Structure 1
Amino acid sequence: MNTSHYIGGRWVEGQGSDCINVNEPALGLPFAELMAASVAQVDQAVNAARQALTTWKRVSSQARAAYLRGFAEQLGQRREELIALQMRNNGKPRHEAEIDLDDAIATFAYYADLTEQLPSKNREVPLAAPGFTARTRLEPVGVVGLIVPWNFPLVTSAWKLAPALAAGCTVVLKPSEVTPLIELAYGQIADSLGLPAGVLNIVNGKAETGAALSSHNGLDKLSFTGSNSVGSLVMRSASAQCRPVTLELGGKSAIVVFDDCDPDQAVQWIVAGITWNAGQMCSATSRLLVQEGIADTLLPRLQAALQKLRVGNPLAEDVDMGPLTSQAQWLKVASYFATAREEGLHCLAGGQALDREGWFVSPTLYTDVPKDSRLWSEEIFGPVLCARRFATEEQAIAEANDSRFGLVATVCCADLARAERVADALEVGHVWINSIQAVFVETSWGGTKGSGIGRELGPWGLSAYQSVKHVTRCLG
C-alpha cells in the first residue's frame, strides 16, 4: 500500500525511513507493508491543519454535525470490510470487532447530535457589579494532534476525532504502527464527504513519526492514548511547549466480589473483564479481590470457565478469545509467566504461551498472589488474572485503592447499598456495579493517579477541545 498517509486532502506515499510490516497475529505473519511518514510530512500535515483551521472553525455547528453524521453513516456502509480488517490485524473475534465498529458509529452519531444542540457561542454572564456586561464564548482549541493505540483502533480514534471536529478543531491523527490500516477509512470517508482539505490529516509511522508530532510547535493540544512510558515522553514534549494534553494511560484495575454475590454470575463478569480483547485493555480488571466466604466456591468455577474458553483464529467460528495483537506483546506476557514461576505463584489455570502458529497465550489465573509480586502491581496487558482474598469491606476498598493506577473498577455485590458505598470509595474514573464493562458514549472515560489526565466521551470529551473566552465590556 503506497498511499497510506492523508495530508491536506491528498493521499501520498510515505517518505520516512521506517518500513511498517502489518501482521496477522493469528498466523504470526505479515500481510501488508507501508513506508512511514517522514518528519517533513508530519510538518506538512500540521501546516495543512493550520491553514484549514481559519475556515473550519467558522463552519456552523449544524454543518459540522452533518459531516459527523456522514462519518457515522459511512462507517456503517463499510461494516463488513472494517470488521474483517479488525479481525485480521487485531486478532479480535467477530463479536468483539462488531462491537468496536458499533462503538465508533455511536460516537460520531452522539457528537453530531451534541453539536447540533450546542448553545450559542455567546452567552451572557450575570455580574454582581453594575456598569459592566460579560459574555462567554466557546471556541475551538485549534490544531490538535491525536495519537491512538493498537488495542482498539477505530474506537479510540473516534473518541478523539469526533469531538475535536465537533468543536471546530482541525486534526493530525497518528495511528499505531501495529494497526495502521483501519484508521485510513477516516481519510477515505473525508474524501467521500467532501470534508475541507486539511481538516483531517493522517500520518502513519513508528516512534520517529510520533515524536515529530508530539513535539511539533504548530500544535495547540495533543491527545494521547497508550502506555505510561510513552505518555511521560508525550507530557515532556507538551511541557516544553506549555501545551495542554489529554492522556489516557494504563491501569491495574480491581474487581471486588462480595460473598453475597451469585458465584456463577460473578464468574461471567470476571472472565469478561480479563479476557475481552485477550486482556489487552487498559481497563482490564486484572486484580480479583474475593471475599473469604465465597472464595472456595468461586475460584474453582472461575478456573473451569477459563479452561473452557475457546482460544483460536478469530476467522474460525465459535472462538471466545483470539491471539495477542503483536509478537512484542506475546513476548511480554510470556515474560510475566516466567516471573510467576520464579516467584512461585500458585497457577490455577493457564500460565503459558501456547505452542501453535500465531501469538496465542492461555487465559490465566494465579491465586493468593502476594502484594509485593510484580504480577499484582504491574500492568501486563494480557489475559492474566491475579486473585487475593479479603475479609471486610474496608479491607477490600483499601486493597483496591492500593495502586499507582486509578482507571476503572467493578463491584459484584447483592447488597446494592454496600455496592454503591464501595463504588463511591474507589479511587478510579469509572465503576461498574454487577455488570460487564459496558462503556456508553454519554458517560466519561478517563482515570485518576497514573491512569491519565482529562476525560473523553460525553460532554466532557467535547469540552476537552474547547477553549473558554470571556468578553467584558464597560457600559460607562
Structure 2
Amino acid sequence: MGFPDSVDWAARAARLALPPGVFVGGEYRETAGTRTVVTPRDGSTLGELPWAGVEDADAAVAQARRAFDHGPWPRLHARERGEILQRFAALVDARRDELALLVSLEMGKPIRVAYDVELRALVRTLRYYGELADKEHGEITPTVDGELSLVTREPAGVVAAVVPWNFPLTLAGWKIAPALAAGCTVVVKTAEQSPLSMQRVAEIGTEAGLPAGVLNVLNGDGPSVGRALGEHPQVDILTFTGSTNVGRHFLRYSADSNLKRVLLELGGKSPNIVLPDAPDLDAAADTAAWAIFFNSGEMCTAGSRLIVHRDVAEQVVDRIVAACGSWAPGDPLDPSTRMGPIVDERSLQRILTQLGDGLAAGGTLRAGGARVDVPGPYLEPTVVTGLAAGNPLVRDELFAPVLAVLVVDDEDEAVRVAGNTAYGLAAAVWTSDLGTAHRVSRRLKAGTVWVNCYEEGDLSVPFGGVKLSGFGRDKSRHALAEYTDLKTTWIRHG
C-alpha cells in the first residue's frame, strides 16, 4: 500500500479516540488507574488512558496461562497458526493509516516513516512467521536397533514481552510473531511513552482469529507492571528491548523467581568506520548522517560514533554538516518531515545535559546542539568533533541525533577505537577492498556488521548483540527457536 498523500493527518488526530482499557483476555478491560497521555508533537494532551497496575499484570498472565494450558492455540496444527498470523498481517495492512497515526502521536515518529517503515515492518514480520510456522521440524538421532530417539521443539509457554517506545510496533512484532508462531501465549507491556498503538494491534489480532488470552497488552509503569511480569512465577520467558540498566533488573527478577528464560536486546554505541578507500565517500557521508539522524537518533543501532580516517575526515564531516539542513526537525504529522521531536521533555533535558557535559570535557560543536524554539521537545541535528576516547559523548548512549566524530590514522587504530566500548550491537565499515572488509568485520565485536551500507537487513537474518548489548536474537528462524523448548523422547520398541 502506498502512502496516502490525501489524508489530513492533523484533522484525523483531532478525532482520535484512545483505547478504552487494557487488552486482556480478548477484550478491553477497565483499570483502577489512568494516565494523561501527552504527544511530543507539540506537548499537548491527547486524553486520559486506562493505566495498568500489578493486579492487571496478574490478570493478564492468568489469561495467557489459561490460554496456553487449556486453550486451543498451542494445540493447533502449526499451519493453522500460520494462517491466522497471515490474516493478522492482512488486517494490520488494511489499517496502516490508523496505526501509523497512533505511532506518530505517541512517540513523534514522522507520519510517512511510521506508515512506510514501522507498519511495513510489522506486516512483513507477521507474514514471515505465518509462512514459517509449519516449516520447522524435529530430529531423529542415531540409535541402535530396537530403539528410537526423537527430538522435538515444543512451545515454551507464557511469554512476557516488554517493548520500547522508539519502534513500538516493529520491535513488538519481532517478539510476538515468532512467539505466537511457536504456539506460545503472550503478554506485552508497552513503554510508558508509547501506550496507544499496540493496544489496537492486539484488538486486530483477535479479529484475525487469535483466541482470547493468546495476545494481551498492558500499559503501565516499569517498576510496577514490568517488575510484576519479571517476577511472575507463571511467566516462562521474558523478552525485553531497552536499556542495559533495566535488562540487569530483569535478570535479577528471574533469579529471584522461577528462573524464567530472559532474552535481552539492550543498548548500543555503534561505530561507523569510514576508510579512505570507501567506494563512494559522498554516499558514506550521506549514510552516516542518516544513521544518526533517522528516527531522531532514537535507535539502539544508531551510528552514533563516526570513526573516520584522517585522509578523508574533512571531506566526510563537511558533507555530514551540510546534510544537517535536510534533517531539520519538524511536525511529525507533516508528510515532508524527515525528523520529528525527541520522545518527551524529560529525555530532551537529559540529552542537553549530556551534550553540555561532553562539550565541557573537550570537543567542537560543528552543527546543531540546541533545542528548536517551537512547542515540543525538538533538538537540532548535532555533530561534535575533536573528542577524546573517554568523553561521555563517545562513551555513553545518548539516544539522540548527536554524532560523535573520532579521527584515526589507520585500520588498526580504527578497530581499536571501535572496540573501546562496553556495547556490541552493531558496526559498519566502508572500504573497496574485499580483504579489508572481511578482516575488519571479523575483528569487530558486534552482533551485526554492515559493509558499505548501514541498517540493512531482512527478516531472514538474526538481530541482537553481545557484551552489554545483551543476548538472544530477534528475527529469522533463530528467533522462533528462542520460544521453544527441546524435548527428547527415547523409545525402546524392540
Do they superpose with TM above 0.5? yes
State the match for 2:111 in structure 1.
94
Whether 2:121 is the aligned partner of 1:103: answer yes
State the match for 1:84 in structure 2.
101
User: Does the residue aligned with 1:116 lie in a helix, a strand or coil?
Assistant: coil
**CA apart distance, 1:340:** 2.6
| Residue in structure 1 matching 2:247, options 213, 216, 231 | 231
Which amino acid in 1 is paired with 2:209?
A: G
Whether 2:44 is the aligned partner of 1:41: answer no
Which amino acid in 2 is paired with 1:123?
A: E
Which amino acid in 2 is paired with 1:439?
A: G
Whether 2:450 is the aligned partner of 1:432: answer yes
User: Does the residue aligned with 1:252 lie in a helix, a strand or coil?
Assistant: coil
State the match for 2:82 in structure 1.
65
User: 2 CA distance for matches of 1:317 and 1:217?
Assistant: 46
Which shifted more, 78-87 or 186-195?
186-195
User: 2 CA distance for matches of 1:417 and 1:269?
Assistant: 22
Contact 2:428/2:452 (<8 A) preserved: yes
State the match for 2:359 in structure 1.
341
State the match for 2:36 in structure 1.
21
Deviations 1:92-137 (A, max 9, x none): 1233212111011010000011113232xx531113x555320011
Whether 2:20 is the aligned partner of 1:3: answer yes
Which shifted more, 348-357 or 251-260?
348-357
| Residue in structure 1 matching 2:232, options 207, 216, 219 | 216
**CA apart distance, 1:352:** 1.6
Whether 2:159 is the aligned partner of 1:124: answer no
Contact 2:293/2:327 (<8 A) preserved: no
Contact 1:22/1:179 (<8 A) preserved: no
**CA apart distance, 1:326:** 1.3
Deviations 1:345-378 (A, max 9, x none): 2111111222221110011111121011111100
Specify every segment of 5 or more residues in structure 2 that has no aligned partner in the other structure, as ranges.
1-17
**CA apart distance, 1:328:** 1.7
User: 1 CA distance for matches of 2:139 and 2:358?
Assistant: 59
User: 1 CA distance for matches of 2:432 and 2:337?
Assistant: 31
Which amino acid in 1 is paired with 2:272?
A: I
User: 1 CA distance for matches of 2:491 and 2:408?
Assistant: 61
User: 2 CA distance for matches of 1:204 and 1:264?
Assistant: 44
Which amino acid in 2 is paired with 1:171?
A: V
| Residue in structure 2 matching 1:51, options 46, 49, 66 | 66
Which amino acid in 2 is paired with 1:230?
A: V
Output the aligned Cα RMSD: 1.5
Contact 1:307/1:349 (<8 A) preserved: no
User: 1 CA distance for matches of 2:438 and 2:356?
Assistant: 38
Whether 2:475 is the aligned partner of 1:457: answer yes
State the match for 1:188 in structure 2.
203
Which amino acid in 2 is paired with 1:27?
A: D
Q: Summarize the Cα distance change of 1:203–1:317 in structure 2 as closer, same or farther, 3 Å threshold.
A: closer
Which shifted more, 179-188 or 3-12?
3-12
State the match for 1:256 in structure 2.
273
| Residue in structure 2 matching 1:176, options 191, 198, 213 | 191
Contact 1:257/1:290 (<8 A) preserved: yes
State the match for 1:205 in structure 2.
220
User: 2 CA distance for matches of 1:154 and 1:33?
Assistant: 22
Which amino acid in 1 is paired with 2:254?
A: A
**CA apart distance, 1:414:** 1.9
Q: Summarize the Cα distance change of 1:464–1:291 in structure 2 as closer, same or farther, 3 Å threshold.
A: same
User: Does the residue aligned with 1:42 lie in a helix, a strand or coil?
Assistant: helix
User: 1 CA distance for matches of 2:348 and 2:36?
Assistant: 17
State the match for 2:168 in structure 1.
153
Deviations 1:294-317 (A, max 9, x none): 112211121111244232112224
**CA apart distance, 1:416:** 2.8
User: 2 CA distance for matches of 1:152 and 1:293?
Assistant: 37
Contact 1:14/1:34 (<8 A) preserved: no
Which shifted more, 387-396 or 286-295?
387-396
**CA apart distance, 1:446:** 0.3
State the match for 2:9 in structure 1.
none
User: Does the residue aligned with 1:420 lie in a helix, a strand or coil?
Assistant: helix
User: Does the residue aligned with 1:57 lie in a helix, a strand or coil?
Assistant: helix
Contact 1:64/1:115 (<8 A) preserved: yes
Which amino acid in 2 is paired with 1:315?
A: L
State the match for 1:284 in structure 2.
302
State the match for 2:396 in structure 1.
378
State the match for 1:358 in structure 2.
376
Q: Which structure 2 residues correspond to residues 238-317 of structure 1 after superposition, within 5 A? A: 238-240=254-256, 241-261=258-278, 262-317=280-335
Contact 2:26/2:203 (<8 A) preserved: no
State the match for 1:321 in structure 2.
339
Contact 2:275/2:431 (<8 A) preserved: yes
Which amino acid in 2 is paired with 1:397?
A: V
User: 2 CA distance for matches of 1:288 and 1:2?
Assistant: 42
Which amino acid in 2 is paired with 1:66?
A: E
Which amino acid in 2 is paired with 1:21?
A: T
Contact 1:2/1:14 (<8 A) preserved: no
**CA apart distance, 1:263:** 2.1
User: Does the residue aligned with 2:216 lie in a helix, a strand or coil?
Assistant: strand
| Residue in structure 1 matching 2:461, options 443, 450, 459 | 443
Contact 1:337/1:352 (<8 A) preserved: no
Which amino acid in 2 is paired with 1:5?
A: V
Whether 2:47 is the aligned partner of 1:32: answer yes
Contact 1:36/1:209 (<8 A) preserved: no
User: Does the residue aligned with 1:117 lie in a helix, a strand or coil?
Assistant: coil
Which shifted more, 249-258 or 413-422?
413-422
State the match for 1:113 in structure 2.
131
**CA apart distance, 1:383:** 0.5
Contact 1:310/1:318 (<8 A) preserved: no
Q: Percent identity?
A: 36
User: Does the residue aligned with 2:133 lie in a helix, a strand or coil?
Assistant: helix
User: 1 CA distance for matches of 2:200 and 2:19?
Assistant: 15
User: 1 CA distance for matches of 2:304 and 2:152?
Assistant: 43
